[in-house]
Amino acid sequence: MLQVQNIDVYYGKIHAIKNISFEVKKGEIVTLIGANGAGKTTILKTLSKVLKPANGSIILKGNDIKGIQPHDMIKMGMAHAPEGRRIFSQMTVLENLEMGAFIRKDSKDEQQKDMETVFRRFPRLKERKNQIAGTLSGGEQQMLAIGRALMSKPEILLMDEPSMGLAPILVDEIFNIIEDINKAGTTILLVEQNANRALQIANRAYVLETGKIVTSGDAKELMNKEEIRKAYLGG
Ligand SMILES: Nc1ncnc2c1ncn2[C@@H]1O[C@H](COP(=O)(O)OP(=O)(O)OP(=O)(O)O)[C@@H](O)[C@H]1O
Ligand SMILES: [Mg+2]
């Protein structure tokens, strides 16, 4: 589904991503874990073309994304639920979800079906569908950001800290939903501070330290590694 080969990303002189390579296979949940500032968000932004790598290549479904316009990434089947709940705050919940489906060429009926699925996953959004999105609580905005990404019917979904700022009971809920989305056929690249939960649902993981991948492997195996437990899983 996705192959990242030897990319470097800079912010001016800051070398944020250093020769990183990884892949995500169709149907997988892959997680990137690492401390604050390790470069996780930078990687997702580079994949969705918000940032440009200085070198290396990113291959999505066999195509180098170099020549693709950022707004066309969604047509290529990639959706990004960004960090910090970037929703359209002046629009209603319903309008935000409709914006998510904007690029789809299938029937309104199909889109309506997916809207119902989003509302089933996030009943709170249904109750509040006519509310201005900017007035939703933080957690509700997080749900809306995910719902909106789902409305584009992505083949691969990039999720940046989906559990951030959620109450513990909602954290469980969100991880269940991520697993459901995956089971329904969407490949997922998940970035999480909550490494324990991310590793529980992931197939594979890559561990980042200051812009470099230091370890990778089967998620369950990584969870049992002493040095990973100590550094990322609270011992
Ligand atoms: N716009 C920017 N200009 C300069 N440096 C930046 C910019 N955005 C990020 N950085 C730096 O790049 C590094 C990686 O940041 P990034 O946001 O990718 O980390 P992260 O792993 O997502 O961290 P967190 O877990 O805190 O979200 C950090 O050192 C950060 O300060
Ligand atoms: Mg981040």
Return the CATH number at 17.
Answer: 3.40.50.300
Check: pTM over 0.85? Answer yes or no.
yes
Which ligand has the shortest distance to the CA of 82? 2
Instruction: Determine the average pLDDT of the residues in 139-151.
Output: 92
Residues with CB under 6 A from ligand 1: 11, 14, 16, 34, 36-42, 193
CA–CA separation, 108 and 157 (whole Å): 22
pLDDT digits (tens, 9 = 90+) for 169-181: 889 889 999 999 9
Least confident of 26-30, 165-169, 192-196: 165-169
Q: How far is the CA of 80 from the centre of ligand 2 (A)?
A: 13
Q: Whose CA is nearest to atom 17 of ligand 1?
A: 41
235 falls in which pLDDT band (50, 70, 90)?
Answer: low
- The residue among 126, 206, 194, 201 whose CA lies nearest residue 160 is 194
Q: How far is the CA of 72 from the centre of ligand 1 (A)?
A: 25
Could you tell me the residue range of the domain that residue 17 belongs to? Answer: 2-232
pLDDT at 222 over 80: yes
Number of domains in the chain: 1
- The pLDDT assigned to 105 comes to 87
